[in-house]
Structure 1
Amino acid sequence: MEQFAVSSSLDKAKGEELDLTHIFETYYKRIYNYIYYRVNSNEEAEDLTSQVFEKVMLKINTYSNCKSPFEVWLFAIARNVINDYFRSLKKYNWFSIEKIKELISRESNPEDIVLTAETNDMLLKALRVLNDKERNIVALKFGGNLKNKEIAEILELTESNIGVMLYRIMKKLKVEMEREV
């Protein structure tokens, strides 16, 4: 009887490992994109994405589908990791020379560098007109590839409110981008 219990617990552990592998393979890119939209750095996005999946691994037993869909739970963890990251930056207000080098070294020819820099500058200037809540909604929508309903659950707002906010945000960005041209 004890041998069955041991093999049963081994099977359960293997099942959980497969589930975590499936979760990682299914959601990694979307979580990474969401985080990248918020932090605008490959290295930071990779580190923070790793933190998200580490927390998922540690807290998977606390998830309850009665409370919210898994995707909403997962992106809520990601949002909290990002918030912690930004809080830590406020304590240590610094920038990395490596980030500047990365931006410069990514492009291969001067023409590409100029075009990319102009487009990025326009977009960054346009995004600066948004407040933190609006930037978070944009990151969830386009970085996380979430539906309005899922964003609403994460932010504890109504789906129609998210739709209206996204419409206004996109309109605000469009006006700002056109102003730059």
Structure 2
Amino acid sequence: MPGTMAATLPVAQAPKAANAAEDTGMDEATLVERAKTDKEAFGQLYERHVDKIYNYVYYKTGSHADAEDLTARVFIRAMQHIERYEDQGVPFSAWLYRIAHNLMANWHRDRNRRKTINLDDLAHWQLFADGPDRLVELSNDNEALLAAIRRLPAERQDLLIFKFVEQLSNAEIGAIMGRSEGAIKSLYHRTLLALREDLHGAIVPVAAPRYVRLRGWLSGGKDQGFG
């Protein structure tokens, strides 16, 4: 699972409000229930999750200004609809990500924009080789991989962001994208295979430990680590 990654990924953080709500340390399920009628409790939820949502939106837009605006919209919509929230067995953040995911779909459609992923950010992503415990670090100059990711359908780009940037589980991604956990696992598998096919012939294994380029599944190894 992406949760086993040891590397530190680049994180964009939302600007902090001067009157930020103080986190009381209340367990999340209780806090969510209280937030349905208590704005201060909702403020604590905001402080707990705003950086994650901002980070996701920033990766999708590449713009801090747009990320601030869209993140605000996510939490406004969440506050408007939190009374309807029901625990589905996944973290509360999955519900927020789903709101963000839907807003982003509308944002790109309205502007006819294709999201971009910065090469500097991509260099910090890590992918699996031969299983979940062996990681492959991408080289800073791997423009071929960046181009291949940009050619993927939007939902597959989303999947990679959720997996490798946000480090979410298949169950959490399924809740966000409105699919079963099995469907997400299958989509992830197909996405990795599509990348490997697209990059066929462009991958050159190197010995330098700092820049090991897409060994394992991308160079034709066994298809493992899709869970």
**TM-score, normalised relative to structure 2:** 0.53
Which structure dedicates a bigger proportion of its chain to helix?
Answer: 1
The answer on whether the counterparts of 1:34 and 1:139 sit within 8 Å (CA) in structure 2 is yes
2:56 counterpart residue number = 34
The 5-angstrom pairing of residues 144-159 of structure 1 reads 144-159=166-181
Supply the distance in 1 between the matched residues of 2:89 and 2:185 (Cα, whole angstroms): 23
Supply the distance in 2 between the matched residues of 1:166 and 1:141 (Cα, whole angstroms): 9
Letter in 1 for 2:75: F
2:152 counterpart residue number = 130
Deviation at 1:168, TM superposition (A): 3.2
Supply the distance in 2 between the matched residues of 1:154 and 1:39 (Cα, whole angstroms): 18
Question: Gaps spanning 5+ residues in structure 2: where?
Answer: 1-33, 114-138, 205-227
Supply the distance in 2 between the matched residues of 1:46 and 1:22 (Cα, whole angstroms): 18
Of structures 1 and 2, the larger Rg is shown by 1
**76, 79, 86: which is aligned to 2:101?**
79
Question: Gaps spanning 5+ residues in structure 1: where?
Answer: 1-11, 94-114
What is the identity percentage for the equivalent residue pairs of Structure 1 and Structure 2?
31
Q: Are residues 1:179 and 2:208 paired?
A: no
The answer on whether the counterparts of 2:95 and 2:175 sit within 8 Å (CA) in structure 1 is no
Deviation at 1:62, TM superposition (A): 2.5
Q: Are residues 1:47 and 2:72 paired?
A: no
Letter in 2 for 1:136: D
1:21 counterpart residue number = 43
Supply the distance in 1 between the matched residues of 2:67 and 2:196 (Cα, whole angstroms): 26
**156, 166, 176: which is aligned to 2:188?**
166
